[in-house]
């Protein structure tokens, strides 16, 4: 079922509570890569800080990530390895409108220059702030690994890592814990308080204009695992407020900072930018964290403006991920079976080593693409344009323009012959393979590695396989004859050594050894790159271009910045916390 659409959250405008349940100088909504730096930065100035988090634990999307943090401008890491960079170079790189990807989409054309100037000027300070608060980065030169739209002039990607060994890591088992857990520990040690399991309902504003934001209301919303009788709980308790009151009001004497993590989990919200993004496309980070647009909706309800909307439709970087883990609904990566939320995930998924081992079909059973082609282009990063002259339209003479190479999502949604009202969704994508492929990949085709309850199926024949597929997003049964014909045709390409349909380079393996398998391989939605309008101090602005006093925002809920997550999140969190704490009550 689709999550609530734009305008679903209410607002308390002029309805000020007679009494407040909690109060702090600065109240931060969200405890991820934006919220934790914001909380620490505000606390460092002497402000009292309360972090309100909807989840049972901290970390948000960031704790599930690979921990890759693009920050440059002359950091200590860059200087240590002789890398020349500066704030001016960062600004020039990330506002260079001449940079275009091989599929024709521009990296930086729709960036807000004011927002980018502020980021560039705080980039180095944000990096040193993370290090000072316990984040450890790998002792390697900043590089391009995991980098997306980080600029052409210098390598800027830094890699946090996690080797604590105490179990206080990430629900995904990934290195995002190396960013988030040290920041959590620092925040708690400095006296930041946390109110977990509470979801913001609305912001409280004196009046629509020019009244300031005074605080918020939040609802107690604990999470439980299937069959459990007690809610999930956080790893740490120091500084947690123990409250089960159904609804609370929270006063912020100086400012509220929205660090709610974006909007991609909200189907109706994301479809404003791209109507193709129906319910079938799952969202990176779920089911641990949900980018539900709660911050955007609450701010819009008190007059805030959205901004940088063009960035949300760009098909480069990590906006939409295509070649994902197979056989599991939550296919952002292969999950750690020891994750505390694994009962919600249900299956780790299968990593694919060689895409020659599968073909991809739409919900009708029709093949539609060269399976060996990958995600969208990564986005411009260090030295990808050579020679490079900033802001020179001739930079694009070095592009190998190739829209077919990076067209998986467009191909997948174009094959929507079975779509129908009300949304005309294209339906799932299924990876089809056989027992021989399983042996080559060394996959285990049983739970907890795959999810047979809707996301992975097997049968002795292809016709029976098509009939076995039962999935809530499959709008009609797969055509067994169509699937059989697609596989037989593909097998003939293996004999011929040529794929005349989609150009797969020398198809290698026939699909003819039973049992046969169909595994969920549908693309997922990843980054939020449009959000609330902010100024250079991360203050939220309204439709008239005026500041909404007492309201700040950063990270994926803020607009005007086309870049994959952790760099902009941490820098804008640091900025928002610093500026918010300096605001007079």
Parts of the chain with a pLDDT under 70: 1-11, 14, 165-167, 414-415, 417
Q: Which of 28, 151, 148, 31 is nearest to 83 (CA)?
A: 151
290 near 267, Cβ under 8 Å? no
pLDDT for res 165: 64
Q: Parallel, antiparallel, or unpaired for β 516-520 and 456-459?
A: antiparallel
253 near 204, Cβ under 8 Å? no
pLDDT for res 10: 55
pLDDT for res 9: 53
10 Å CB burial of residue 394 (0-12, 13-18, 19+) is: exposed
User: At what angle are helices 35-44 and 113-132 packed, to 10 degrees?
Assistant: 70
357 near 446, Cβ under 8 Å? no
pLDDT for res 7: 46
204 near 217, Cβ under 8 Å? yes
Instruction: Kindly report, residue by residue over 49-75, the tens digit of the pLDDT.
Output: 999 999 999 999 999 999 999 999 999
Write the DSSP string, 31-96: -STTHHHHHHHHHHTT--EEEE-SSSSS-TTGGGS--EEE--SS-HHHHHTT----HHHHHHHTT-
Q: How many residues does the chain have?
A: 585
How high is the mean pLDDT of the chain? 93
pLDDT for res 8: 46
pLDDT for res 287: 96
Judged by DSSP in three states, 50 sits in strand
pLDDT for res 350: 97
Question: What is the maximum span of the chain, computed from C-alpha positions, in angstroms?
Answer: 78
Q: Parallel, antiparallel, or unpaired for β 12-13 and 193-195?
A: unpaired
pLDDT for res 2: 42
pTM over 0.85: yes
Give the gyration radius of the chain's Cα atoms: 24
pLDDT for res 410: 77
- DSSP conformation class of 319: S
Sequence-ordered strand ranges (E) for 395-484: 430-434, 456-459
Instruction: Kindly report, residue by residue over 247-257, the tens digit of the pLDDT.
Output: 999 999 999 99
Measure CA of the first residue to CA of the last residue in the chain; give whole Å.
42
Q: Where are the domains of the chain?
A: 12-317+526-582
Q: Which residue has the tokens 């780790």?
A: 348
State the CATH class of domain 12-317+526-582: alpha beta
Judged by DSSP in three states, 118 sits in helix
């Amino acid at each position: 079922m689709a999550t609530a659409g734009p305008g679903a959250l209410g607002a308390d405008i002029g309805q000020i509570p007679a009494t407040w349940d909690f109060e702090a100088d600065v109240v931060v909504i969200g405890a991820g890569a934006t919220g934790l730096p914001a909380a620490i930065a505000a606390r460092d100035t002497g402000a009292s800080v309360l972090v309100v988090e909807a989840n049972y634990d901290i970390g948000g999307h960031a704790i599930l990530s690979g921990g890759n943090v693009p920050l440059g401008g002359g950091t200590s890491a860059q200087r240590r390895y002789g890398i020349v960079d500066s704030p001016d170079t960062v600004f020039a790189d990330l506002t260079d409108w001449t940079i275009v990807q091989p599929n024709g989409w521009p990296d930086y054309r729709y960036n807000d220059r004011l927002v980018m100037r502020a980021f560039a000027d705080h980039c180095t300070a944000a990096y040193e702030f993370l290090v000072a608060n316990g984040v450890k980065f790998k002792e390697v030169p900043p590089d391009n690994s995991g980098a997306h739209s980080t600029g052409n002039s210098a390598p800027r990607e830094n890699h946090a890592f996690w080797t604590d060994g105490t179990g206080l890591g990430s629900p995904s088992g990934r290195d995002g814990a190396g960013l988030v857990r040290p920041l959590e520990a620092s925040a708690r040690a400095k006296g930041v308080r946390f109110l977990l399991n509470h979801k913001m309902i609305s912001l409280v504003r004196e009046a629509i204009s020019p009244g300031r934001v005074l605080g918020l209301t939040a609802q107690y919303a604990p999470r439980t695992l299937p069959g459990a009788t007690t809610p999930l709980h956080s790893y740490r308790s120091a500084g947690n407020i123990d409250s089960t009151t159904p609804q609370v009001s929270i006063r912020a004497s100086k400012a509220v900072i929205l660090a709610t993590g974006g909007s991609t989990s909200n189907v109706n919200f994301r479809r404003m930018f791209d109507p193709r993004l129906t319910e079938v496309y799952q969202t990176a980070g779920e089911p641990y964290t949900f980018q539900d647009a709660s911050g955007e909706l609450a701010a819009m309800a008190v007059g805030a403006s959205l901004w940088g909307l063009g960035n949300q439709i760009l098909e480069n970087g990590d906006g939409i991920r295509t070649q994902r883990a197979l056989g599991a609904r939550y296919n952002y990566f292969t999950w750690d079976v020891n994750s505390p939320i694994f009962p919600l995930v249900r299956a780790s998924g299968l990593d694919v080593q060689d895409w020659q081992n599968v073909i991809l079909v739409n919900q009708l059973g029709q093949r539609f693409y060269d399976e060996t082609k990958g995600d969208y282009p990564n986005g411009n990063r260090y030295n990808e344009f050579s020679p490079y002259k900033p802001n020179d339209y001739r930079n694009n003479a070095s592009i190998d323009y190739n829209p077919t190479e990076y067209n998986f999502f467009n191909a997948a949604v174009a094959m929507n012959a079975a779509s129908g009202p009300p949304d005309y969704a294209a339906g799932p994508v299924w990876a089809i393979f056989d027992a021989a492929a399983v042996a080559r990949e060394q996959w285990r085709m049983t739970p907890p590695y795959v999810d047979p309850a809707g996301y992975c199926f097997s049968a002795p024949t292809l016709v029976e396989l098509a009939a076995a597929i039962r999935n809530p997003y499959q709008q009609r049964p797969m055509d067994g004859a169509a699937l059989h014909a697609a596989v037989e045709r593909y097998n003939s390409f293996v004999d011929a050594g040529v794929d005349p349909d989609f150009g797969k380079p020398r198809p290698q393996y026939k699909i003819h050894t039973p049992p046969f398998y169909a595994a969920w391989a549908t693309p997922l939605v990843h980054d939020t790159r449009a959000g609330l309008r902010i100024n250079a101090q991360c203050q939220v602005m309204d439709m008239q271009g005026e500041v909404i006093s007492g309201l700040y925002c950063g990270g994926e809920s803020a607009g005007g910045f086309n870049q994959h997550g952790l760099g902009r999140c941490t820098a804008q969190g640091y900025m928002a916390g610093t500026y918010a704490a300096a605001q007079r009550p």
